[in-house]
Structure 1
Amino acid sequence: MRHLTSKWLCMTIALCASAVANAQTQTVKIGFSGPMTGAQAMYGKDYQSGVLLAIDDFNATHPKVDGKVTTFVLDSADDQADPKTGTIVAQRLVDDGIKGMLGHFNSGVTIPASAIYSRAGIPQVSVATAPAYTRQGFKTTFRMMTSDTQQGGVVGRYVVEKMHAKRIAIVDDRTAYGQGLAEEFEKSVKAAGGNIIDHQYTTDKATDFKSILTVLKSKNPDFIYYAGADSQSAPMLKQARSLAMSALFASGEMSKTENFIRVAGAAADGAIVSLAGLPLERMPGGSGFTRRYEAKFGEKPTTYAPYSYDGAMALMKSMVDANSSDPSTYLPKLARIGMKGVTTDHFSYDQYGDLRDAVVTVYKCEHGAWVPLDVISSSS
């Protein structure tokens, strides 16, 4: 009887200890969404990988939120780069009980989805670059990268003042991203005294651009700017060269990919692209980030991972700083975040939720590789 009583007592103590331990730990769910399938899946994968690495690194510090040791977990969903799917995904993630949102990727998906997160009071940190995203009056919208206003403004001025382009043509894909980037580029070109000779339009599904290029060729541009993704910019450039068009060709960050070089082939040499922030090797935390990324995923990071890493870190750090995973409690901490990140020593937001520390790097394709050409501050 004494043996049974002793055994029962040990079991009771163990159960109580387990209950106390469980009461002192918790799991906090963060949402993520981007294009994980389809033509833009490479962007989505890179974007998600930066978030996953951030969660691993942050969990390794044994953070405390709500007075409990906290493990952050990711609730991921594929929005297929489609606005309708994006809103469905957004509502599902809200219903799943996420405490913060990292996504979406495309501006055209992010903007309609942002209304759902705003109604739920859930902070959303996105890579979307369209200016409209953070100008809707929502307190919940934040950005991981420079906006189109910052990037388009820098590049438009650069091609007039530094590249001395005289006859500039623009083509955009009419997505929220492409349209916003093209508009800001055009405004900046005109403000710098440049000459826009034409503005043509296509879609993000098009593959044949010869009719547009034929129109442009008749107007003899010396510079063509395409606002859209590499699935259009690469074949467009290749077709332009097949029509004996020698105009310098430029695009935004969605064209700074190995896929662009592979598809465009020899035509890629001389192409110009712009990308938010410093080159990875010059980022304050770039070398350490690259080492950890390669160890985890077995490949090098590409465009978006460093930014999604910092965006995720800011979201989780704000919960720790507020000692709360309640979105209404930690949101003010996120709005006033100030931290040293991978991409910058001064990661912070302005009154709109846009990054304060905004620089843009211009790259040129030389012998099949992207080479940094110039680094420009958006305020210069």
Structure 2
Amino acid sequence: MSMSAERAMKLGKSSDEIVVGAAWPFADRNDGFKEGLELALEEINQTGVIGSKIKLEQKDDLSSVTDGLTIAQNFSNDLNVTAVIGDRSSAVTVPASKVYEQAGVLFLAPTSTSPKLTEGGVSHIFRLIPNDTQIGAEMADYANSKMYKNIAVFYANDEYGRGLANSFEDSAKISDIQIIDRVSDYKDIDDLRRLVNKWNALGCDAVFVAEAMPDGANIILELRKAGLNLPVMGGDALDSDSLIEIGEKAVEGVVVASIFNPNDTDPKVRDFVESYKSRFGAEPNKYAAQAYDSLHLLAAAITEADSRKPADIAAALRKQETWPGVSGDRSFDASGDVNDMHIVMKQVKQGQFEYLK
């Protein structure tokens, strides 16, 4: 009998707590994720789910593929585990998801955008955020609206960076935007100065940075030191307060993609923001909102399926027309990608993020 079948059989007979795993770089790159999970857990367990409470088991993946795979194997070996929420980066999530899929564990990815996550006919994997193709297209539309026609791309040579850079370039070409250069590494500040001089000579209008934090902030900082005076844009992985903390004046004017606006007047968003502030003394960001939505979405799907079996919950997720979260409404296509989720733009102005219309 396969591990997936064993899990379904065991969970079908269980009436104990519903075990949910969470894998995330909690110690070094938490960004409110743990707090968002804990707030959702408190709310859900006030009434329970199909007669049981959720037991949340959190493990730190250290932003490491090796640790992420070890955690995935450990969660998968535990037949009591119904679902796992994680990891932060696509570089960890994509390989870990293959372990969960093979073991029949429902896997919810709240922040990983690589298209590879849902390729290959997966049945237990769901992405809770627009993928790189969607984000790249939105950023290219923004660049076109600003009349940028020559753009240089600086990207991380990893799953996230390559995917977002490729998607941005593909969408940019549709709008007749020229990608004049693609760079993933540099030797020193003199090397960066040569790059900046080349971009200026080629009539560069803006730079698109497909990097995650904290590297993204450090690269923008170094580019400014090398003399870059052009507008800078980035994907959702730059959507972090640490961008401003690290980059300071160097990131002034930087535009990034996001999926959560704490200033939204929607009652459920206002309730979440107030509850989070009351509980933790700070305003929630994208990561807190995604964590909160992930656990609430899972609880709603378990209730709809009236089952703790991963396959039943996955079927319920695919059947739902729209689920209203604080980060936006969600439904899923056959591959597990989120449909039509709203993307918002943020810009650093006077040392803080401002949401753009």
Q: Does TM-score exceed 0.5, indicating one fold?
A: yes
Residue by residue over 1:26-65, the C-alpha shift from the partner in whole angstroms, topping out at 9 and shown as x without a partner, is: 3110011011234xx234xx2232222222111112332x
Residue by residue over 1:286-335, the C-alpha shift from the partner in whole angstroms, topping out at 9 and shown as x without a partner, is: 21111111222232212212122222212122112222112233221122
Residue by residue over 1:99-139, the C-alpha shift from the partner in whole angstroms, topping out at 9 and shown as x without a partner, is: 11111111011111111111111111102111110113111
Could you tell me how far apart the structure 2 residues matched to 1:170 and 1:348 are? 32
Which residue number corresponds to residue 72 of structure 1?
A: 54
The one-letter code sitting in structure 2 at the alignment partner of 1:343 is: S
Percent identity for Structure 1 against Structure 2: 25
Q: How far is 1:208 from its partner?
A: 5.4
Which residue number corresponds to residue 10 of structure 2?
A: none
Could you tell me how far apart the structure 2 residues matched to 1:356 and 1:367 are? 34
| 1:332 is aligned to 2:315 | yes
| 1:33 is aligned to 2:23 | yes
Could you tell me how far apart the structure 2 residues matched to 1:207 and 1:33 are? 34
**Residue 67 (structure 2) aligned to one of 80, 85, 98:** 85
Q: Which range moved further: 284-293 or 334-343?
A: 334-343
Does structure 1 retain, via aligned residues, the 8 Å contact 2:330–2:341?
A: no
Root-mean-square deviation (CA), in Å? 2.1
How many pairs were matched up? Answer: 338
Could you tell me how far apart the structure 1 residues matched to 2:76 and 2:265 are? 34
Could you tell me how far apart the structure 2 residues matched to 1:332 and 1:57 are? 24
Could you tell me how far apart the structure 2 residues matched to 1:373 and 1:36 are? 30
| 1:239 is aligned to 2:225 | no
**Residue 58 (structure 1) aligned to one of 44, 48, 56:** 44
Could you tell me how far apart the structure 1 residues matched to 2:71 and 2:22 are? 10
Does structure 2 retain, via aligned residues, the 8 Å contact 1:125–1:142?
A: yes
Which residue number corresponds to residue 378 of structure 1?
A: none
| 1:192 is aligned to 2:192 | no
- Counterpart secondary structure, 1:280: coil
- Counterpart secondary structure, 1:105: coil
Give TM-score, length-normalised by structure 2. 0.89
Larger RCO (CA within 8 A; separation ≥ 6):
2
**Residue 42 (structure 1) aligned to one of 6, 27, 30:** 30
Shift in CA distance, 237/320, structure 1 to aligned 2, threshold 3 Å: same
Q: How does 1:101-120 map to 2 (within 5 A)?
A: 101-120=84-103
Q: How far is 1:347 from its partner?
A: 2.2
The one-letter code sitting in structure 1 at the alignment partner of 2:20 is: I
| 1:211 is aligned to 2:191 | yes
Could you tell me how far apart the structure 2 residues matched to 1:208 and 1:360 are? 35
Could you tell me how far apart the structure 1 residues matched to 2:353 and 2:190 are? 26
Q: How does 1:309-324 map to 2 (within 5 A)?
A: 309-324=292-307
Which residue number corresponds to residue 234 of structure 2?
A: 251
Bigger Rg, which one:
1
| 1:144 is aligned to 2:119 | no
Q: Which range moved further: 168-177 or 348-357?
A: 348-357
Could you tell me how far apart the structure 1 residues matched to 2:83 and 2:153 are? 37
Give TM-score, length-normalised by structure 1. 0.84
Could you tell me how far apart the structure 2 residues matched to 1:36 and 1:207 are? 31
